[in-house]
Amino acid sequence: MTQLPSSTDRKMGLVIDLDTCVGCHACVISCKGWNTENYGAPLSDQDAYGADPSGTFLNRVHSYEVRPAEGPAQLIHFPKSCLHCEDAPCVTVCPTGASYKRVEDGIVLVNESDCIGCGLCAWSCPYGARELDQAEGVMKKCTLCVDRIYNENLPEVDRVPSCVRTCPAGARHFGDLGDPESDVSKLVAEREGMDLMPEMGTKPVNKYLPPRPKDQIEDQIDILAPLLAPVAEEPKGFLGWLDKTLEKL
Amino acid sequence: MHPAPSVIIFTTLSGLGFGLLFFLGLGMPDVSGWVAFVFFVIAYGLSVGGLMASTFHLGHPERALKAFTQWRSSWLSREGWCAVIALLVMGLYAIGLVFFGQRWGFFGLIGAGFALATVFTTSMIYTQLKTIPRWNMKLTPAMFLSFSLAGGSLLAGQTSLAVPLLLAAAFVQAFYWWLGDKAFATSGTDLGTATGLGARGAVRAFEPPHTGTNYLLREFVFVVGRKHAEKLRIIAFVLAFMVPVLLLVLPFSHFFAALAVLSHLAGVAVSRWLFFAQAEHVVGLYYGKR
C-alpha cells in the first residue's frame, strides 16, 4: 500500500541534539554495522579499498559552519538519516507498494522483495535519506532499527536504534513523538526542537534540537594576558636598521 | 539530476510515439491498409521502444509488473496503466484500419485520449517532485504535452497543424526555461531551511560526511553539463522548432519532411538532456552543492 495512513498509533522517531553532537561519526559506523548484517539486503560498498570507494549508508554526519552577524562562528555537526515523515512523499510516489508507512508506529519501511529499484522515492525525498544499493538494486533506508526496538532477545537497554545506543555524547534520543508526555516530546518542547525544510510539507517526525547560544566573552578572561603583551614594539639593532632601510626604499 | 540515457530516450521517443498515436486515433491522416500499417509500426516502435528503454535504469526490471498496483497514489503506476490501455485500444483500432479497411472511430478516440494521458502522467512523475523546483511547475506538463502534439503532428504529416503546434511548443519551451531558471531561488529552500540553522547566521557546508562520492551525489548533483547549457539551449531550440518550421513552410517534399522529423527528434533529445542535467535537487544543499 503506497497510500499513507491518515494517522498512526504512535510516532516513533529520533531527536538529535545539535548542541551535543561532537561529530565523531560513531552513529554512522554502528548503523552500517547493524544494518548490513540484519534487516534486509546488506549495505554494500563499491571499490571499498580502491581509488574511488563509495557505499550505501543510512546515516551520514555533515558539518556546517554558521557565522552570526556578530560574535564568533560556530561549527555544528549534523547527523542526518530518514526523518520518518508523517506526510512522506517517498511512500506515495512508489509504484509497487514496496515503500510504506506503518500504522502501528509510523516507521517508514521498504519491502525489498517488491522494490523495482526505480529510484523515484529517493528523488522525492528532500533529505537524501534513501540510497539505492548498487549491489542489490533495491532502495535502502533507515528502519529505525525495527529489528532491535521490539527484539525481546536483546537486553532491554539495547532495544533502541543502533545509532542511539552507540552515541558517546548522548546526542541522540529515541521515543514516541506522538505522545506529548514522552521524554522525547518534553525534550523537544523544552529545547524548541525544529523540523528540517518545513516548507516541503513533509511533516518530519524526527526533530533537531538547535545548538545553545555560545557564551559571550565580555572581559579579558586570561589573567596572564596582560603579562604576555609584546614588550619590544620597535625593533632595535640590526633589525631596526633593516626596518628603517627597507622603509626608505 | 543525472541525465540517464534511458529516461531521455524514453521521454523523447515515447512522447513522439504517443503523439503520433493521438493523431492516428483522430484519423489524421485518414489511412488504411499498408500505409496505415507503416504509420502504426512507426508509432508503436517509438512508444514501445521508449517504454522498454525506461526499464533499463531499474534495479529489478523483472518485477516491473508490480508497478501496476499503486495507481491510486503513484503517477508512475498511472503512467503504466495509461500506456498499456492506449497501446491495447490503439491496437484494436489499427487492426480495423490495416486488415479490414474499417475505421472504428470509437476505439481511435479512446486510444487517442489515453495516448495523451500517458504523456500527461509521464510529465506528472516529474512535476510532482517538490524536491526539484525546476520540475515542480505547472508548465512541465504543458511542455511535455506541447512537445508530444507538435512531434506527433509532424510525424503524422499534418503540415497545417504542425507549424502552429511547433511554434506553440517553442513558446512553451522558452517560457519554461525562463521560469525554470528562477524556480530554485523562488522555492524558498536554502541551506538555512535545510539545516534549520538559517536564523542564526550564514550557513556554509564546512565538511562533507565523507571524502568520496555517493549515490545521492551521482544521482542528484550533476553539474557537468551546466557549463554549455546556453549553447545547448540554442541548439535544442533551433533543431526542435526552427528548422522543422522552416522545412514545412517550404514547398512540400518527402525529403524535407523526413529531415524535419529527424531535426525535431534531435532537438527534443537535447532539450530533454537539459531538462535533467539542469534540474537541481534540494538535497545538493546539504553537500554545499547544487
Q: What is the DSSP string of chain A?
A: --SPPS--S--EEEEEETTT-----HHHHHHHHHHHSSSSS---EESTTSSS-EE--SEEEEEEEEE-SSS--EEEEEEEE----TT-HHHHT-SSS-EEE-TTT--EEE-TTT-----HHHHH-TT---EE-TTT-SEE----SHHHHT-TTS-GGG-S-HHHHH-TT--EEEEETT-TTSHHHHHHHHHT-B-SSGGG----SSEEEPPPPPPP--S---TTGGGGS-S--S--HHHHHHHHHHHH-
Dihedral angle at the C-alpha atoms of B148, B153, B155, B159, nearest 10 degrees?
-150
pLDDT digits (tens, 9 = 90+) for B66-112: 999 999 999 999 999 999 999 999 999 999 999 998 889 999 999 99
CATH number at residue B169: 1.20.1630.10
- Whether residue A1 has pLDDT greater than 60: no
- In this predicted model, which residue has the larger pLDDT, A73 or A229? A73
- Whether residue A214 has pLDDT greater than 80: no
B256 is in which domain, residue-wise? 5-287
User: CA of A208: which chain B residue's CA is closest?
Assistant: B196
The residue written with cell numbers 521560469 in the block is B179
Q: Do A200 and B216 touch (CB under 8 A)?
A: no
ipTM metric: 0.91
User: CA of B127: which chain A residue's CA is closest?
Assistant: A124
Q: How confident is the model at residue A2 (pLDDT cuts 50, 70, 90)?
A: low
Is B253 near chain A, with CB under 8 Å?
A: no
Contacts of A210 in chain B (CB under 8 A): 196-197, 200
Average pLDDT over residues B233-262: 92
Identify the pLDDT of residue A140: 97
Three-state secondary structure string covering chain B: CCCCHHHHHHHHHHHHHHHHHHHHHCCCCCCCHHHHHHHHHHHHHHHHHHHHHHHHHCCCHHHHHHHHCCCCCCHHHHHHHHHHHHHHHHHHHHHHHHHCCCCCHHHHHHHHHHHHHHHHHHHHHHHCCCCCCCCCCCHHHHHHHHHHHHHHHHHCCCHHHHHHHHHHHHHHHHHHHHHHHHHHHHHCCCHHHHHCCHHHCEEEEEECCCCCCCHHHHHHCCCHHHHHHHHHHHHHHHHHHHHHHHHHHCCCCHHHHHHHHHHHHHHHHHHHHHHHHCCCCHHHHHHCCC
- Whether residue B151 has pLDDT greater than 70: yes
Average pLDDT over residues A188-209: 96
Q: How confident is the model at residue A220 (pLDDT cuts 50, 70, 90)?
A: low
Residue extents of the structural domains in chain A: 12-209
User: CA of B191: which chain A residue's CA is closest?
Assistant: A197
Is B74 near chain A, with CB under 8 Å?
A: yes
Share above pLDDT 70 across residues of chain A, in percent, rounded to a whole number = 96
Q: Do A2 and B63 touch (CB under 8 A)?
A: no
Q: How confident is the model at residue A232 (pLDDT cuts 50, 70, 90)?
A: low
Distance in Å, alpha carbon of A153 to nearest chain B alpha carbon: 33
Q: Do B212 and A132 touch (CB under 8 A)?
A: no
Q: How confident is the model at residue A3 (pLDDT cuts 50, 70, 90)?
A: confident
Distance in Å, alpha carbon of A214 to nearest chain B alpha carbon: 11
Best of B200, B280, B285 to disrupt the A interface (most A CBs within 10 Å) is B200
On average, the pLDDT of chain A sits at 92
Q: How confident is the model at residue A101 (pLDDT cuts 50, 70, 90)?
A: very high
Q: How confident is the model at residue A243 (pLDDT cuts 50, 70, 90)?
A: confident
- Whether residue A223 has pLDDT greater than 80: no
- Whether residue A7 has pLDDT greater than 90: no
Measured between alpha carbons, how far is B179 from B176 in angstroms, rounded to an integer? 5
Q: Do B70 and A120 touch (CB under 8 A)?
A: no
Q: A248 φ, ψ to 5°?
A: -70, -30
CATH architecture of A12-209: 2-Layer Sandwich (3.30)
Average pLDDT over residues A229-248: 80
Share above pLDDT 90 across residues of chain A, in percent, rounded to a whole number = 78
User: CA of A192: which chain B residue's CA is closest?
Assistant: B196
Share above pLDDT 90 across residues of chain B, in percent, rounded to a whole number = 80
- Whether residue A96 has pLDDT greater than 70: yes
Measured between alpha carbons, how far is B164 from B182 in angstroms, rounded to an integer? 28
Contacts of B209 in chain A (CB under 8 A): 25, 28, 57, 60-62
Identify the pLDDT of residue A218: 67
* Domain tally, chain B: 1
Identify the pLDDT of residue B263: 96
Pairs of residues, one from chain A and one from chain B, whose beta carbons lie less than 8 Å apart: 196
Nearest neighbour of A54 by CB, restricted to B201, B212, B283:
B212
Nearest to A93 by CA among A178, A181, A24, A3: A3
Is B125 near chain A, with CB under 8 Å?
A: yes
Is B223 near chain A, with CB under 8 Å?
A: no
Radius of gyration of chain A (CA): 25
Contacts of B186 in chain A (CB under 8 A): none
Identify the pLDDT of residue A219: 65
pLDDT digits (tens, 9 = 90+) for B191-206: 999 999 999 999 999 9
Burial class (CB in 10 A: 0-12, 13-18, 19+), A202: buried
Q: All 3 cell numbers of residue B274?
A: 537539459
Identify the pLDDT of residue A17: 97
